[in-house]
Amino acid sequence: MNKIISNIKNMTFKLSKYIKKFFSNRVNTIIVLIVLVILAVAFIMSLINTNKRKEFFLNHIYDMYPQEVRDLYSNMVSVSCNGDLYFDIDINNEIKVDKLNKNNLLDYLFSNLDKNDKLDDSFSKSLISKTQKELFMGKVDLLNEINDYQYGDYIYNVKGDKIIRKANKCESNNYYVSHLYGFSYDSNKLSMDINFGYVKDDVLYDLNNNRLGEYNGGAIKMFEVFNSSSYYRLNYIKNNNYLKLDSVELIDES
């Protein structure tokens, strides 16, 4: 036993002597500091990326989709004060975009402006006119719908040739989730199938407040619960190099 203790002491002494000698060399000390800084930066960046990835549920699956699909899908989540995008249409019905509820389209449009960093305390009405032409097929005019419209923590109003906003705290306690169910496309058309819902007291509901089932936060469980629910199919047509929303369907295959 005494021999073992003696050996441990000798090893500890030699190790401390080696470390002291190693750090006595200024170059070695600088190298170690650089490595520690790199590791610290990598750790901080991983935390930042983790927080960003919370914006899209199951982001590692979401990232597998083509860029155009990812961009369009990003416009559906974290929309306005009410959570994710919601269209008030009947099941197994397809509605052309110019017949959809104008508030639904405002949510879509303002989400696009927000995610492209174009919202401000004051901006030109022409931005709305330009963006709605880029986003929607058919004739869609939303300028007359903006007064007292709330997006996020602001209420927007038209004043002369400007859109102005004032702070108005969004109050929402729901945790929203979405599932990009699938997509199909050719050179000029694209369709996306998406489930939307929210979680309350460990139960998943659709955006029409229908109870879908218990939900424990796991990816597999979310798929299982959403699998029996209706879903939106958003149909786009490529026009002037923009994929424009043409129609929306609410599909129930049960």
Mean pLDDT by 10 residues, the chain (254 residues): 54 56 62 67 54 41 69 80 78 91 92 93 95 94 93 93 92 80 85 89 87 83 82 92 93 77
> What is the DSSP-derived secondary structure letter of residue 217?
S
pLDDT at residue number 64: 57
Residue 223 phi, psi dihedral angles, 5° rounding: -60, -45
Q: What is the full DSSP assignment across 22-82?
A: HHHSHHHHHHHHHHHHHHHHHHHHHHHHHHHHTTSTTHHHHTTS-HHHHHHHHTTSS-STT
pLDDT at 140: 93
Residue 80 has a pLDDT of 63
What's the confidence (pLDDT) of residue 207?
A: 83
**Cβ count near 127 (within 10 Å):** 16
- Which pLDDT belongs to residue 49? 47
Helical (H) or strand (E) element with 206? strand 203-206
Enumerate the domain spans of the chain: 2-52
Strands 211-214 and 231-239: unpaired
Give the integer Cα–Cα distance in Å for 122 and 119: 8
The total of other beta-carbon atoms located within 10 Å of residue 103's CB is 16
Q: How far apart are CA 120 and CA 173, in angstroms?
A: 25
Which pLDDT score is estimated for 191? Answer: 93
Q: What is the pLDDT of residue 52?
A: 40
Pairing of strands 231-239, 189-200: antiparallel
Position 29 scores a pLDDT of 65
Say what the pLDDT of residue 111 is: 92
**Quick one: how many helices (H) and strands (E) in the chain?**
7, 11
| β-pairing verdict for 203-206 and 189-200 | antiparallel
pLDDT attached to residue 24: 66
- Cα–Cα distance measured from residue 86 to residue 104, given in angstroms and rounded to the nearest whole number: 7
Q: What is the pLDDT of residue 228?
A: 77
**Verdict on whether the full-model pTM lies above 0.85:** no
First to last CA, the chain: 74
The pLDDT value recorded for residue 121 is 96
